[in-house]
Chain A
């Protein structure tokens, strides 16, 4: 048998290989991507798995609120504010009312202030519920999402009891609330205070010390305190970086000074810290709700300011004075002085500011919303620079960027 001559494999030597062209991949994350939780586009330049740079395109749901507000009587602007941060719309709505009250010098009675605090803190809880549970979903933990979403539903039921609406809750009125807390609402709030802690504890058990969750979030998307301040971070994202700035404490509004609560802070400003700060804030919010509902003062739920406060419907139908005031207010005859005012509230995401300039007309001359999401989403490319795509997703969901607030 003759020797079979083995032919050499036809493999080109290394020098014959074509030069690999070093080129960055352009990856479009969004505009509609299930993991971005909203409509914004991120054009990422990738070197292999690493993100080298990013550029965001926003404005896909821009609705020109500031322009619309210039043509609307003050009363009709309330419906715009609800649609900014739709995860915690009562805060936006009541924040706008407080701005107007500050501007017009309306003194709100204690009961209304306490009801507002309850509603705003419940809204903060729903906001954080969504952010934290979706953060879990992004790491693959769908169970936690199912646990806490039921609780958001219960808060929405409370809203429904208080004002009739669930998502865009136009529950405030100039000078107070639209209506008083009914006994059913009070009962539901008490029930919520009792039933929420076990569920939140369950979420904590599922995620807080979870090996996978910790690996996926610790040191992911970190931002230093210095950069966070330069980028104008507020709210949980700033507190996660280590500064205890909270509008509720520094510039108390609506009787926040009456309540005892602490401001949780983080250290590293990474995704895990942001999660933990939000988690702790839910406990604190619950504490505030509990204090407010237990010490709910007696008295009227609206100010004695008939020229601003829309009279209750029952009176409008039976009382001539009320009907006249109703017409005057609805037709936009609020005597707003000329001047300017800036008022800030602690929104779900951070300092939510309203800058109002009036020339004495029936609509604002200029109304500017300081929207926290808009301010800090610009830091996103810097935060995910050098990380992988999967980390960038988590960074974004822990920033809690709400498209409605981003674009306004």
Chain B
């Protein structure tokens, strides 16, 4: 079995201060990195002889509109079948420079996951072979999962939050 401590130390040794914000919510090793280092980290974990974190479970985006300079976050979930070890890696990027390198060169499944993230958040994955919308129509000119598009109509007066205990 692989412990969170072990992998965290190895990553710190290899990447130094490029990996930071180590956490363990619900036992899952979580760390942040920069977008320059994300591909080397994914590759390091995948090709490491002992860890063998060969499986990209999930890739998605999150938006924090109030976090100036780090408005968007891309989250990678990885899994090592050999050690039954999961790891979560986060990369924060700013809205002004919304670019991150694509992981399609490392994992084939990143293709659609990145397209989905682009479709909903507008995060641009540099080097992606076909960065087009996947679930929404091509003609759409906005990114619907961003927080600036609330679901409920804010102008409706019969739905005042206070009346509903919100």
A positions within 8 Å CB-CB of B: 58-59, 62, 64, 66-68, 70-71, 102-103, 227, 229-232, 243, 245, 250-251, 331-333, 339-342, 344, 351, 353, 355, 357, 362, 365-366, 368, 370, 374-379, 407
Contact = CB atoms under 8 A, between A and B. Distances in A.
A267 B24 CA distance: 37
Interface of B: 25-26, 28, 30, 54-58, 60, 62-63, 75, 77, 81, 84, 86, 88, 107-109, 111-113, 116, 120, 133-137, 144-145, 150-152, 164-166
Contact of A66 (B28, B75, B77, B145): B145
A366 B65 CA distance: 13
Nearest to B165: A331
Contacts of A227: 108
A407 B135 contact: yes
Point out which of B55, B75, B133, B145 has the most chain A C-beta atoms below 10 A from its C-beta: B55
Contacts of B152: 71
Contact of A59 (B25, B135, B145): B135
B77 A67 contact: no
A250 B63 CA distance: 32
A340 B25 contact: yes
B164 A331 contact: yes
Contacts of A64: 144
Given A232-B55, A232-B109, A375-B113, A67 B88 contact: no
A160 to B, nearest CB: 33
A19 B60 CA distance: 51
Given A64-B144, A331-B165, A340-B25, A229 B62 contact: no
B58 A230 contact: no
Contacts, number: 90
A340 B109 CA distance: 23
Given A71-B151, A232-B108, A250-B81, 11 more contacts: A64-B144, A231-B109, A250-B84, A332-B166, A342-B28, A342-B86, A342-B88, A355-B58, A365-B62, A368-B58, A377-B112
13 contacts: A58-B134, A59-B135, A66-B145, A68-B151, A102-B26, A230-B108, A243-B81, A332-B166, A353-B77, A355-B77, A365-B62, A376-B109, A378-B111
Main secondary structure on chain A at its contact with chain B?
mixed
Contacts of B88: 342
A355 B60 contact: yes
A67 B145 contact: yes
A375 B60 CA distance: 12
A365 B62 CA distance: 9
A407 B135 CA distance: 7
Contacts of A357: 62
Contacts of B144: 64, 67
Point out which of B25, B56, B108, B116 has the most chain A C-beta atoms below 10 A from its C-beta: B108
A71 B60 CA distance: 19
A217 to B, nearest CB: 24
A19 to B, nearest CB: 33
Nearest to B63: A366
B114 to A, nearest CB: 11
B54 A229 contact: yes
Contacts of A229: 54-55
B135 A366 contact: no
A218 B84 CA distance: 32
Contact of B25 (A231, A341, A351, A376): A341
A319 B21 CA distance: 48
A333 B108 contact: no
A341 B28 CA distance: 8
A376 B113 CA distance: 11
A227 B133 CA distance: 24
A231 B108 contact: yes
Contacts of A59: 133-137
B101 to A, nearest CB: 18
Point out which of B25, B57, B136, B164 has the most chain A C-beta atoms below 10 A from its C-beta: B57
A341 B27 CA distance: 9
B80 to A, nearest CB: 10
A68 B152 CA distance: 10
Nearest to B56: A232
